[in-house]
Chain A
């Protein structure tokens, strides 16, 4: 308790003032009641630039309580700049416990990934969203996209996916792949790889999406139908990798390409650092990995 009191001296708990939190909380409740619908909210200036996760940070700040355990990931990793700075931000302003372990977290803020470990009912996943409107690059006018959502008129999106097939022979979109939520709203899942799309379907965890610059909040309640858009003769397919993780040998995780020298050398490793570390601690070793031993400390 003393740690909490010390850390938010001069700031309100979790940085935001109470009136802002109430406004965001009301938006979150509407978002949950209307799955996939983008609720406008009065996004605030945060002590970081737009584009660095201000939407996610505001949603996290509005829901966070002193007993929450927070995990922050950036492209799956706990140790990248964005993740570290947001984690430290809430350590300082809310004094909450933070973790890198997916299983221990109650609130997980994420940029562009869903953790590999299956999320549980008591967990909330908060996405940072750059462009919340899936139709924005097809129709730039907000008044028009709003009408299209009101009429559930999503023909444009299907034409866009069809044009991919006409041009490339398959749907070429590999991230921010549009989904239909609860049979009603087409939604942008934020730029997660399409590899992660199936994890949103019937997830046990509540999923909240915050777009700070674009001032929208939307949500997928737990156990909600989330379908990636496709065609009968071109069904949606999650990305598959033809090799395992070079460090832990996982064949079921999303892999990042890492350039290792200037002569074409490269390796593929898990993008979810906690997943990879857990597997290596369990004794799994990939082709370029070294066994984790007590002596390695």
Chain B
């Protein structure tokens, strides 16, 4: 399987990055992806666009089992290396429908360098329509609602543990075929929204 890269790499990478930047700056907001490429990729077009925009030979990535087929494509287009272990990866890709999610197995950063942590890019069916959770934290005026369907049953507990590690911890980018939603480590899930 050979998939094309961006038709206009410079401007497409910028557009994909700006969508991710906005998603992390405004956690819980559904941000239309600025660039999409490779519908046939197991990652999905938005996650693949993020990979092609942010990965290069300076970083390593990790693929959860169901996405293993994406390796040659990602390595070919970015020059990034596959990490042997999840906690050695700068970026990780997970398909929520098929893979177990364990946030604690990824790199969490160190107290001196909390930035040395994994950014996890998750593939989900939809960013809306699931059980509604209230979130707050930097980037959110008051509270905001999060309603991603199909999250693991223990996601709230895992996220609470991640938030408790702050400023260490992982940052999440949920992706569909059209959009991206950010959940940085600074965001807290308050519980079910009423």
Contacts and interface: CB of A to CB of B under 8 A. Distances in A.
Interface of A: 12-13, 18-19, 21-23, 25-35, 37, 39-40, 62-66, 146-147, 149-151, 182, 184-185, 202, 206, 220-225
B150 interface: no
Contacts of A66: 11
Interface in B1-37: 9-11, 13-15, 17-18, 20-21, 24-26
B141 interface: yes
Contacts of B21: 25, 28-29, 32, 63, 206
Q: Which of B10, B13, B185 has the most A CB atoms < 10 Å from its CB?
A: B10
Contacts of B54: 22, 25-26, 29
B130 interface: no
A51 to B, nearest CB: 25
B138 interface: yes
Given A33-B184, A63-B18, A202-B141, A22 B56 contact: yes
Given A22-B13, A150-B111, A185 B18 contact: no
B139 to A, nearest CB: 4
A21 B114 CA distance: 21
A29 B119 contact: yes
B17 A18 contact: no
B141 A223 contact: yes
B115 interface: yes
Contact of A63 (B17, B24, B166): B17
A19 B56 contact: yes
B107 to A, nearest CB: 12
B154 interface: no
A222 B25 contact: yes
Contacts of A32: 21, 24-25, 139, 184
A222 B18 contact: no
Interface in B99-127: 110-115, 117, 119
Contact residues on B (Cβ < 8 Å of other chain), bracket: 35 or more
Contacts of A146: 112-113
Nearest to B144: A223
A151 B111 contact: yes
A206 B138 CA distance: 11
B193 interface: no
Nearest to B14: A65
Contacts of A12: 10
Contact of B139 (A27, A29, A62, A224): A224
Nearest to B139: A221
A13 B112 CA distance: 35
A179 to B, nearest CB: 13
B38 interface: no
Given A29-B171, A150-B112, A223 B140 contact: yes
Nearest to A31: B115
Contacts of B113: 40, 146
30 contacts: A13-B11, A22-B13, A22-B53, A22-B55, A22-B56, A23-B56, A23-B58, A29-B20, A29-B171, A30-B117, A31-B115, A32-B25, A33-B185, A34-B114, A35-B186, A37-B114, A39-B115, A62-B17, A63-B21, A64-B14, A65-B15, A66-B11, A146-B113, A150-B110, A150-B111, A182-B138, A184-B167, A221-B25, A221-B26, A221-B139
A63 B54 CA distance: 13
A98 B114 CA distance: 36
B59 interface: yes
Nearest to B136: A223
Nearest to B110: A150
A-B pairs with the 3 shortest C-beta distances? A150-B111, A33-B184, A221-B139
Interface in B112-168: 112-115, 117, 119, 137-141, 166-167
A122 to B, nearest CB: 9
Contacts of A13: 10-11, 14
